[in-house]
Chain A
């Protein structure tokens, strides 16, 4: 049995320790906000936070996650009110929506480490998250807006 801490809840799962975390989240814990895009760490749809870092859950084994805090898109905020989530709605970012959980989870690490990112910082942080619908311009604008929301909130 492997003990996992997902979104501040504890779960015990009986899986092969080499199972990718993505499948444990989706198939065993029914947290389906995190998506499968490529299975090869190439697209970013599967990004979750492990110890605060934006890991690709399609290649991260559940044994690597054991005992460490994991946050999925479901746990990013208590009431969908993370500045990024608010900005995403304000900017009407998603089209099909498939990549967007991964986009937001990657952006969340950026804003935590750099609350006032430049466009170049955003490029550096987000280049690994692909969007076939091409919402990149809105993603960038939403991240800049979320940074403004965060600044206002801390005043």
Chain B
């Protein structure tokens, strides 16, 4: 198994064996993976340019498109329907001030990825929105990430509590960002 951040940030985390634990790190990521692949997260990290919707992750009704900056196009911009907060009521748009997809030049796709693929992608500075170790740790505290646990009426939460997710996220990163093997290969 390979480990560590892209070389640009090698000085941020020097792979000290005092903290590095490949087994614990990879095991932690398998828990992280469960959350990231749940609809509350994956729906806004689609493989295509239309967000996903619902617990079955169907294509978002009315086919809004990613656009260049991830915030939609013309009269179909995300914030036209998704307000800064959840709209009350079942089947109403959930909300967050930062609602949107990743931008077209950094799509950060979750859909269809194995655990290993996703771990390798997230730890890659050139594929993760240019986040170094500290920024990756901070990202779990981001308002839009937290919104997955404030999902609006009728939407099941991710499979871990937010507290449990942050614990395994931090563990994965702090113990060396190891990518789990592909168990079915």
Contacts and interface: CB of A to CB of B under 8 A. Distances in A.
Interface of A: 40-42, 44, 47, 53-56, 59-61, 64, 105-107, 109-110, 113-114, 121, 124-129
A56 B81 contact: yes
Contact of B74 (A42, A55, A56, A121): A121
B80 A53 contact: yes
A61 to B, nearest CB: 7
B61 A124 contact: no
Of listed A41, A47, A64, A114, residue having the most chain B CB within 10 A: A41
B156 to A, nearest CB: 20
Interface in B89-116: 89, 91-93
3 smallest beta-carbon distances between A and B, as pairs: A106-B75, A125-B74, A54-B75
Contacts of A121: 74
B92 A59 contact: yes
A41 B74 contact: no
Contact of A128 (B75, B83, B89, B92): B75
B87 A41 contact: yes
B145 interface: no
Nearest to A54: B75
B73 A125 contact: yes
- Dominant secondary structure of chain A at its interface with chain B: mixed
Interface of B: 61-65, 73-77, 79-81, 83-84, 87, 89, 91-93
Contacts of B73: 124-125
A113 B74 CA distance: 7
A129 B87 contact: no
Given A42-B61, A56-B81, A59-B93, A128 B76 contact: yes
Contacts of B87: 41, 59
Nearest to B61: A42
Contacts of B61: 42
A109 B74 contact: yes
A109 B75 contact: yes
A148 B65 CA distance: 25
A56 B91 CA distance: 15
A128 B79 contact: no
Nearest to A103: B75
A138 to B, nearest CB: 18
Nearest to A120: B65
Contacts of A56: 80-81
B60 to A, nearest CB: 10
14 contacts: A40-B92, A54-B74, A54-B80, A55-B79, A55-B81, A56-B81, A64-B84, A109-B75, A125-B73, A125-B76, A127-B62, A127-B64, A127-B76, A129-B75
Considering residues A47, A109, A110, A124, which has the most beta carbons from chain B within 10 angstroms of its beta carbon?
A124
Nearest to B79: A53
A42 B90 CA distance: 13
Contacts of A107: 75
Contact of B83 (A54, A61, A109): A61
B92 A110 contact: no
B89 A126 contact: no
Contacts of A109: 74-75
Given A59-B92, A64-B84, A128 B77 contact: no
